[in-house]
Amino acid sequence: MALKDEIAASGVAKLEAGSGGLEKIVIDAPAARGEMYLHGAHVTSFTPRGQKPVIFLSKDSLYQPDKPIRGGVPICFPWFGPKADDRAAPMHGVARISPWKFESIERVGDGARAVLSLVPNEVSRKYWPHEFAARFIVTFGATLEMSLLVQNTGRSHFTYQEALHSYLTVGDVRKITLTGLERTKYLDKVIKETKVEGDAPIRITGETDRVYLGTTASCVVDDPGLRRELSVEKSGSNVTVVWNPWIDRSKALADFGDQEWPGMLCVETANTADFAIQLAPGESHTIRAIVRVD
């Protein structure tokens, strides 16, 4: 059966040509609508029925086989940010610029569950010569549930970093508050200092790039502009990253609209820095994030 027919047979999805000619899976289930590109296994849209869109996607995003999509939920793997020992390597790893293999899609209750997989390819072996098998499982329903399972299929230990880099749509980032990270140690990458968050809810007042360490807590974005709360629950993760480029950084990003920064906030489920994952041969690890609208 052709891939297009296999996906259509689920009754809740179809395969279409997306931007730049890249293939995408369009989800249309009773509980939610959504989109997911095979390029990067990249979730680019999620809207529960009766709600406003939850996931932000830049209008200036590039849709090219060797470039990541800007917005949505990029998968960062097997490193986060620049590669420590090779600044020429792709930012945030190779998963988000690799073609993933479609495994399955099925209706689950009133939602839909898609599974995509990734194994080593030419680019990954060039920068990270380890054997692995990754599976990304996404459920589009009343909530957006994402799980990334990584297994060491080789004969030696390896260490990797990862993130489900969720871009959330907000009414105005200057008016939201973020809770769940109180009294948590974090690295402020803008001013390159380590701090401890206070007791008050976080407010975004400028360029923000913070790596909160040693936290398994859920985060809640209180958004008065869209009159809703967005929560990001997680498991298998000990790091949360909070990012907004603000004015100057937005203008410096070729694939991000100069005026888009007020409408988004990244709350990322991650394992980085001292919390990188170590796997012995045959071992596996799963990181999970659930985005909920209240």
The DSSP-derived string for 110-144 is TEEEEEEEE---HHHHHH----EEEEEEEEESSSE
Question: What is the structure's pLDDT at 141?
Answer: 98
DSSP-derived secondary structure letter, 166:
P
Query: Number of C-alpha atoms within 13 angstroms, CB side, residue 79?
Result: 16
pTM for this structure?
0.97
Q: Residue 246 pLDDT > 90, yes or no? A: yes
Cβ-contact 280, 81 below 8 angstroms: no
For 109-164, what is each residue's pLDDT tens digit?
Answer: 999 999 999 999 999 999 999 999 999 999 999 999 999 999 999 999 999 999 99
* Sign of the torsion formed by the C-alpha atoms of 187, 189, 192 and 195: negative
Cβ-contact 236, 286 below 8 angstroms: yes
% residues pLDDT > 70 (the chain): 100
Distance CA 49, CA 59 (A): 23
For 12-61, what is each residue's pLDDT tens digit?
Answer: 999 999 999 999 999 999 999 999 999 999 999 999 999 999 999 999 99
The residues, any chain, with a CB within 8 Å of residue 37's CB and separated by 6 or more, are: 18, 22, 23, 24, 25, 44, 69
| CATH code for the structural domain at 3-293 | 2.70.98.10
The residues, any chain, with a CB within 8 Å of residue 35's CB and separated by 6 or more, are: 18, 24, 25, 26, 27, 43, 44, 45
Q: Residue 89 pLDDT > 90, yes or no? A: yes
Helix, strand, coil fractions of the chain, as percent rounded to 5: 10, 45, 45
Mean pLDDT of the chain: 97
Give mean pLDDT, residues 262-286.
Answer: 98
Please list the active-site residues: 165, 268
Question: What is the structure's pLDDT at 264?
Answer: 98
Cis peptide before 78 (omega within 30 of 0): yes
Q: Residue 1 pLDDT > 90, yes or no? A: no
Question: What is the structure's pLDDT at 229?
Answer: 98
> What count of residues does the chain have?
294
Question: What is the structure's pLDDT at 167?
Answer: 98
Residue spans of the domains in the chain: they are 3-293
Give mean pLDDT, residues 177-191.
Answer: 98
Cβ-contact 97, 20 below 8 angstroms: no
